Structure 1
Amino acid sequence: MKQNLRNGFYKKPLALSIAAAMITLATANVQAKNFQLGDFDISFDSTFSAGTSWRVEDRNWNDNVGKSNNINNGFDFSQYHPILNVNPNAATVWNGAGSYSTNSDNGNLNYDAGKTFSKLIKGSHDLDIRYENLGFFARGMYFYDFEMMDESRAWVNPSSAKVNDPCRDDDARDQLCRDIRLLDAFVYGDFDIGEMPFSVRVGQQVISWGESTLISHGISELNPVDIARLKAPGAELKEAFIPFGAVWASLGVSENFNIEMFYQYSWEKTVLPAPGSYFSTNDFAGDGGQFNNVQLNFASNPDMDLDSLVTNLNALRAQILNGNVAMADAAGAYVGGFPTKLTLRQEDAENDPENGGQYGLRLSWFLPELNDTEVSLYHMNYHSRRPVFSGITADFGAEALGHDVAMLATTEITLDNYTDLQAFSRVELDYIEDIKLYALSFNTAIGTTSVAGEVTFRQDEPLQIDDVELLFAAMPQQLANDLGRTELDGISQMPVFQGGERANGYILSDTIQAQVTLTHLWGPSFGASQLTTLLEVGGIDIRDMPDQDVLRLNGPGTGRNGGIAGKEGLEIALQDGVETNPFPSAFAWGYRFVGKLDYNNVFAGINISPKIVFSHDVNGITPDPLFLFVEDRKSMSLGLGFDYQSRWSADLSYNSFFDGVGTTNQLEDRDYVSFNIKYSI
């Protein structure tokens, strides 16, 4: 009998009902092409699809677009110059509508209502070759998005006059626009050790541990995710999970006790949405973010992207060479025009962890006497799949400024050498090593309802310090350190760092997360042959959350800091007041609901399945990079699926994002419709 490539030998009495509830992003139930070649059993299946998604809601200019990028404010930046003409000035811009950050709106500005943001074709193929008790499994996929590759975006940067292109960066292009990629590729074998069945896999693989279905950051955090693939038309989980190099083994010690272990020898990261893609809410974190820079000054000046920065630096260089700017004055002009207005995000800004040192153990018991309950205990040591931001502080000391002015006087600034400038602050993306996880999971049945859940304890999990506190430490504090701006001394909740020093932008904290999933198959209902519902409720507690008056952590929509103790006057001068959105809390929770009706053979052998997915973050806000709950945020997807003989299928859905405290729901204006059609053989 062919091995189940996703699970070990432990019994999963609820697997079928849980899988039935996974009605979004589900893999089509197709029969693979099976044939024999000598003593080899070969299975090969393929899925081809075409789909499109288009925006159906206009931008919320008042809340989700930076003030200086809001065209409804009528600001004219055509004569703006970072040194010679900074009009409209900060006071004028701050009186306009919009948010106090232009670091999160490219994904909003790039797409007009009524326009497509994806027109995608893709294919995926699974190959399984088995010889007796040994085998090889591989999965590959390819895609091409005509909208992203061949069409133009809606937004033109006001400083560089260039269209923002999310596909400009090679890595971002592979994630979002077109790619051919190998996913799983591993060898496996089934053996007997005495009377104990033993299974092993070696290679690129996904390890399916845990019971969570819709709420992330549980035990399944082990598997990194490609978010662009997860949001694509016709998305399938097998394409979204990123396989990693590992050795996995399972030993059936007895009929009711199983041991699983893995050692990961190749680290992989979760792929963030590329800056400027439809679902992105950060303009610099993902691949390609180096072209946008990190904008300072709370949206009081127009975005200065990398092209604009290089152009303006060379314009200053020309003024120095022409004698229009004396060398003695060049440093002041340079500081006022550039490193006080933006932070650099270099292409190589990611600090990847070591590949090795990641492992896990799972002990599973099947308990027939407790209504066929399965209980599992876990321990893992892994490196974070999600980044946190740290920084290199600006350096306004005489040596650094002398170096930069000399470089301007002697060298043309290009995309290849701009990172040699020393005065700029820089953002770095850290992936923290050695997070320890201890967990328990169960699945059982109570009456006719399947019940599953998990509790996860993490030790030393990284949590992001509020990005404004990090930026205050990285730039204004350095004006106090080196250029006599004493009023700016100590404005950040972070410690005082000297120029050019590294500032870690995170804390390590212990967290506890719990969630429970209820799945019920109702049988014939509303004229359908089957009604399936799923309810998943989860919450997370930050065990040693700092008080907000000591250290605030980062959450969505917090474009300003929460107050500068003892320097209240600076709150107006620097950022036009204090942040009104709430910052992350120690506890947060929410729930997810799924409902699906299956109407079989409605006409000509076609099955139709209407479905609804509803999400509600009830209370509290989780700090980055957990991305779990944002108080009062809701989303809903209404879909209609069609299936013909498990070969042809199609899905049409309307997806809505709404509510949220203040302006913390950064996707609330990005409702969209998606359609795809698939053929599987």
Structure 2
Amino acid sequence: MNNKNNKTCHHLRPSLLASAVLVGLGSLPAHAFELDTGIEDLQVRFDNTVKLNYAQRVESANSKLANSWNNNDGNRNFSAGSAVSQRIDVLHELDVVYRRQFGFRVSGNSWYDHAYDDVGSANASTNQYEDGVADSRGLSSYADRYFNGPSSEVLDAFVFGSVELGEESLLSGKVGSHTQYWGETILAFAHGNSYGQSGLDIAKALAVPGTEAKELFIPRNQISMNFLVNPELSFGAQYFLDWDASRLPESGTYLGFNDAIQHGSDDLSLIAQGNPMFGVLPGAPQFLRLTGGHTYTPDKRGDYGLMAKWSPEWLDGTLGLYYRNTSDILPNLALQVGAIGLPQLRSGVVGEYNQFYVDDIDVYGLSLSKNIGGVSVGVDVNYRENMPLASVPANVNPLAPAGKPGFVSSFDGEDGVARGNTVHAVVNGLTTFADTPVWDGASLLMELAYSRWLDVTDNEQLFKGEDWYRGVDKVTRDNFVLGVNFTPTWYQVFPGVDIHLPMTYNVGLSGHSAVQLGGNEDSGSYSVGVGMDVRNQYRFDLKYVDNFGPFDTCESTTDGAAPGANGLYNCAPGQTTAFAGTPAQLKDRGMVTFTFKTTF
């Protein structure tokens, strides 16, 4: 009996160590280049992935969207037929492993996009101001770095190690900049157990519909540990040493949808009413505006998470339990209008707006992964306390009566948004199809997400689910969204060449989510294209990408989405007043993209 046990353990140990190494490194490129070190226990891999991307706008601007003063900079910067991306990215990856137990990984990305070499608009509606100076129109320095370049950044930079404890147990960990993805959600990142675990590359999500949520994660400095008790039970923990927001398309970039947020601009137009001195005082702008003030961010340290996974033989699957205390990764706005006199009416600047990210969100999650009838099924369910809810920008006014819609009497850097408790659920299935008369093979991913807000615990007067709010994105109690990725494949169409036909479709089926980017009814995105793998090393993709969704436009001066200081629903005729999510803001940005990628 003892000999049998020893034999089993001898077989298990390399598997445990290999698993720890794979967890430490993440996925390696198919053509990873391994250096010959001359040392048997030392493995070194160095890889470079080159990606070339060209994209061209093929859809003309919608006249109403092009006239939307706080949402139109990207629309005006790129006309139909113009290149919106001429980008080269080079990803460098270095992995060093010693004795299949310890090592480190460093990766970095470099880029340059010729399409952003000379981008800007002289249109009066631009948000590309700097401290109110009108002749500084153009991309911000931040947007210029990340969207134009040339520039680079370090992504992964961590050390890892593992040690066996007893016959079946393994303790492993990583320290440094890396990502951890908990749960089974694939597409609906706003509803998964992993929400807030890392900032998300939303610009990539919008440019490439159907991108898996874990591919959007931005590496974050942290300490993570995993303890494999036995093949059925494991525990995990992480403690964050840094915080970073999601990256949204900046003002002036092609897919920019909100010109006032993050680093893209320094200006927010007040479009509820026109400037009464427009056309009267020389130089007075059509609309008054606020300049960018302070951005309030959470403490860099302190977010943490705990996880347990159980894979009993009778279940033939894996259950996961999670708890995380996290900060938010999406911004909110607080508006502070000052005293207004003739100097302010002439300059147009009447105050400032602040951006802020809240913290102390509690996430309690459950997951299940299991194969059912040849379909790989994943389930995420989570309950969130103190979650920021979809809100109108908070107007800060010390004289505002308590509970006045859209107003708060004070602002301390995080209390300018409605907060409450929500429930989220995600169910997905991934399956493959064998050879048929139509294709040689195919893969299908379908994911349904659901959310429900339970109660509002703070700033109910800002919540878009209240009776006084009447925008097209008015929050409903329940919300359903659907995502579908389908890719048929034809193998060896030419020698060494496989052809793919990737298609994606994402849509809000019912209701409007109470959380940002959670989905809106009849709003979504889609893409259809053709891909080609050459010798399993060169990848070519040609796609059409577009968005859809409804939005509201002011038809009369009292047609706004929310009441102003006077209690009236003031708005400027012709201006947009509400959008059914981000896709509605981008519904006229249809584009064709061509991508080439290879690793060596």
TM-score over 0.5 (shorter chain): yes
Change (3 A) 1:501 1:640: closer
Residues 151-189 of structure 1 show CA distances to partners (whole Å, capped at 9, x for unaligned) of 3446633688758523xx222222222221100000000
Change (3 A) 1:392 1:298: closer
CA distance in 1, matches of 2:45, 2:113: 29
CA distance in 1, matches of 2:322, 2:539: 38
Is the counterpart of residue 459 in structure 1 residue 385 in structure 2? yes
Change (3 A) 1:501 1:594: closer
Equivalent position of 1:182 in the other structure? 154
Equivalent position of 1:345 in the other structure? 292
Q: Do the aligned residues in 2 keep the contact of 1:112 with 1:154 (CA within 8 Å)?
A: no
**TM-fit CA distance, 1:532:** 0.8
Match of 1:280 among 256, 259, 263: 256
Change (3 A) 1:678 1:340: closer
For 1:596-607, list aligned pairs within 5 A.
596-607=487-498
1:147 partner SS: helix
Amino acid at match of 2:87: L
Equivalent position of 1:76 in the other structure? none
Change (3 A) 1:301 1:646: farther
**TM-fit CA distance, 1:107:** 2.0
CA distance in 2, matches of 1:142, 1:669: 30
Match of 1:137 among 105, 119, 123: 105
Residues 321-353 of structure 1 show CA distances to partners (whole Å, capped at 9, x for unaligned) of xxxxxxxxxxxxxxxx6898212213xx21111
Is the counterpart of residue 261 in structure 1 residue 237 in structure 2? yes
CA distance in 2, matches of 1:501, 1:455: 33
For 1:635-650, list aligned pairs within 5 A.
635-650=525-540
2:536 partner SS: coil
1:288 partner SS: coil
More helix by share: 1
Match of 1:212 among 173, 176, 185: 185
CA distance in 2, matches of 1:153, 1:506: 32
Is the counterpart of residue 383 in structure 1 residue 351 in structure 2? no
Higher mean displacement: 439-448 or 524-533? 524-533
Q: Do the aligned residues in 2 keep the contact of 1:378 with 1:439 (CA within 8 Å)?
A: yes
Change (3 A) 1:43 1:460: same
Higher mean displacement: 517-526 or 293-302? 293-302
Match of 1:551 among 438, 458, 461: 461
Q: What number of residue pairs does the alignment pair up?
A: 538
Is the counterpart of residue 115 in structure 1 residue 82 in structure 2? yes
Equivalent position of 1:668 in the other structure? 587
1:528 partner SS: coil
Equivalent position of 1:531 in the other structure? 442
For 1:94-493, list aligned pairs within 5 A.
101-132=68-99, 133-148=101-116, 150-153=117-120, 156-157=123-124, 164-166=137-139, 169-178=140-149, 179-195=151-167, 196-217=169-190, 218-221=192-195, 222-231=197-206, 240-290=216-266, 293-298=267-272, 300=274, 341-346=288-293, 349-370=294-315, 372-395=316-339, 424-467=350-393, 470-471=394-395, 473-474=396-397, 492-493=404-405
TM-score by length of 1: 0.72
Equivalent position of 2:45 in the other structure? 43
Q: Report % sequence identity.
A: 24
Structural RMSD (CA): 3.6
Equivalent position of 1:96 in the other structure? none
Change (3 A) 1:298 1:107: farther
Higher mean displacement: 423-432 or 457-466? 423-432
Q: Do the aligned residues in 2 keep the contact of 1:252 with 1:258 (CA within 8 Å)?
A: yes
Amino acid at match of 2:271: N
Equivalent position of 1:566 in the other structure? none
1:344 partner SS: strand
For 1:58-97, list aligned pairs within 5 A.
58-62=60-64, 64-66=65-67
5+ residue gaps, structure 1, are 10-14, 20-26, 67-100, 305-311, 317-336, 482-487, 556-560, 564-577
Equivalent position of 2:541 in the other structure? 651
CA distance in 2, matches of 1:3, 1:611: 31
CA distance in 2, matches of 1:388, 1:140: 30
Change (3 A) 1:592 1:232: closer
CA distance in 2, matches of 1:670, 1:164: 22
Equivalent position of 1:55 in the other structure? 57
**TM-fit CA distance, 1:527:** 4.2
Change (3 A) 1:5 1:659: farther
Change (3 A) 1:361 1:250: same
More strand by share: 2
Q: Do the aligned residues in 2 keep the contact of 1:464 with 1:553 (CA within 8 Å)?
A: yes
Change (3 A) 1:147 1:219: same
Change (3 A) 1:667 1:301: farther
Equivalent position of 1:323 in the other structure? none
Match of 1:497 among 392, 398, 409: 409
CA distance in 2, matches of 1:652, 1:243: 29
**TM-fit CA distance, 1:599:** 1.3
CA distance in 2, matches of 1:298, 1:509: 28
1:425 partner SS: strand
Q: Which has the larger radius of gyration?
A: 1
Amino acid at match of 1:365: W
**TM-fit CA distance, 1:382:** 1.2
5+ residue gaps, structure 2, are 1-16, 127-132, 553-578
CA distance in 2, matches of 1:231, 1:252: 37
**TM-fit CA distance, 1:273:** 1.3
**TM-fit CA distance, 1:554:** 4.8
